[in-house]
Structure 1
Amino acid sequence: MAIFRKLARPLLASAFLTGGLRTLRDPKSAAPVAEPVTGPLSARIPALPDDPAKLVRVNAAVQVGAGVLFATGRFPRLSALALAAGLVPTTLAAHAYWTAEDPEERERLRIDFYKNLSLLGGLLIAAADTHGKPSLAHRVKNAG
């Protein structure tokens, strides 16, 4: 099973690394798409920047950093959770297919939305992966 982890992690991380690097190079192009989500998010979490371009840049940096950690097997559970946390608002902002009026655009956005849901599922599985060892909850429960 270890060989599958060593192979699967970089494959899963590749989407976040490429997307994060692309956004870091040009955050202003992603900012208008992200604005419907960044506004309410910044209002609810005061520590986040108000500027959509800055928030997009922060998310991209998290994608790159957590993607590298995940791909190399460093802190895989924590990095998978960080990637999953950033994927949710990204998906809601960039792939809101229910708002598109053009049928072709709606179909493209729908495919990307469900592709991101699949990535989210993979990240959640990775975040729960204990490498075959009993979980902390199981060890605490059976310690006595």
Structure 2
Amino acid sequence: MHIVLGANPEADQPWVVDAVADLIRQSGGSVAVVAVDEVELERLAAAPRSVFAERAQRAASTAVQRLAAVGIEASQTVLSGRPLQQILDFADQQQADLIVVGSSTRPAVAERLLGSLPLALIEKSPRPVLVITNPHRSR
């Protein structure tokens, strides 16, 4: 099984990485971590692309290091642009069997206005998408 793990540059989600580690231990396979800087046009961004790219790099590196700590090797890629399309394209290039992402970290109102990447992936992806929720979040 080849898994693409979408690392969230806006929030540390260690439980997502832990879930991927469990899947790999149970099924074997490989992991490719991808983080997207979310900057489509730099001139319209609230800060320079480098700020967003650094956050994406940190998210991808953190996920790869967490996997390495439990003996799982993973590749790491940082991309620019819209996360939905970049993750879908990356999963195609990787010939992924599964895309794994964390649940949305946005408040419900923002999610309704701006959309939810996990839900959009479920709607648009031709391959299975597994959305991992925070096990420590109160409901």
Q: TM-score, normalised by structure 1?
A: 0.32
Higher relative contact order (CA 8 A, sep 6+): 2
